[in-house]
Amino acid sequence: MKIVFATNNKNKIKEVQALLPNDIELLSLEEIGCHEDIPETSPTIEGNAIQKTEYVKKNYGYDCFADDTGLEVKALDGAPGVYSARYAGEAKDSNANIEKLLRELQEKENRSARFKTVIALQLNDSLHTFTGICSGNIIFERKGAAGFGYDPVFQPEGKSLTFAEMSLEEKSEISHRARATRNLIDFLQDYSGKR
């Protein structure tokens, strides 16, 4: 069985492929000849993940899954949410996004937040979604140099380190993306076993 992961991030593909049964082969967008930017115009995280899979299925005919992630901050009524990557503008500048987030939270007592990842899967003309959530807090200043995005200011619940201070293995034990991916893999292993 071949399935497209709607990403060109080769490291993401390697990580997920290593967890899948041997009879499921992952293909990247590049491998199917998809070089255009897939639109992400939905007002929700779920909607963007679904939009990417529908685009690949409609234009390339492959079964496909895609993910979308947002940081939801309680004191900001769930912002930046679906706009997490573009919070400080269309440039998608992580440093500018963090600066804006810390400014917005300056006067706020409640700094609780959560990362939410949704993976959408188009398989044999049916749609499935898998969600992973990691709750925590936004700290007052950046800590750590690993990870990406908001990782330097996000401290998961029950941990003394930010995501950016953790190794990839430590982060993968608890992260939103890892949780959603494990749900997807369980589904695909079960599906693969029934065929």
Average pLDDT over residues 170-182: 90
Q: How many domains, the chain?
A: 1
Question: Can you tell me the mean pLDDT for 112-141?
Answer: 96
- Please compute, for residue 25, the number of CA atoms within 13 A of its CA located in the half-sphere on the CB side: 6
> Does the pLDDT of residue 46 top 80, yes or no?
yes
Looking at every residue in the chain, the average pLDDT score rounds to 91
Residue 195 has pLDDT above 70, yes or no: no
For residue 167, the enclosing domain spans: 2-194
Q: What percent of the chain has pLDDT over 90?
A: 70
Q: What predicted TM-score, i.e. pTM, was given to this entire model? A: 0.89
pLDDT at 161: 97
Q: Which residues are catalytic?
A: 68
Query: Which among 119, 133, 126 is positioned nearest to 65, based on CA atoms?
Result: 119
The reply, when asked if residue 93 is annotated as ligand binding, is no
Q: Tell me the CATH number at 122.
A: 3.90.950.10
In angstroms, the CA 63 to CA 76 distance is 37
Answer yes or no: is 115 a known binding residue: no
Report the pLDDT value the prediction gives residue 169, as an integer from 0 to 100: 84
Q: Is residue 177 a known part of a binding site?
A: yes
Known binding residue 171? Answer is yes
Pairing of strands 112-123, 64-73: antiparallel
Per-residue pLDDT tens digits for 72-103: 999 999 999 999 989 999 888 999 999 999 99
Confidence tier at 17 by pLDDT (50, 70, 90): confident
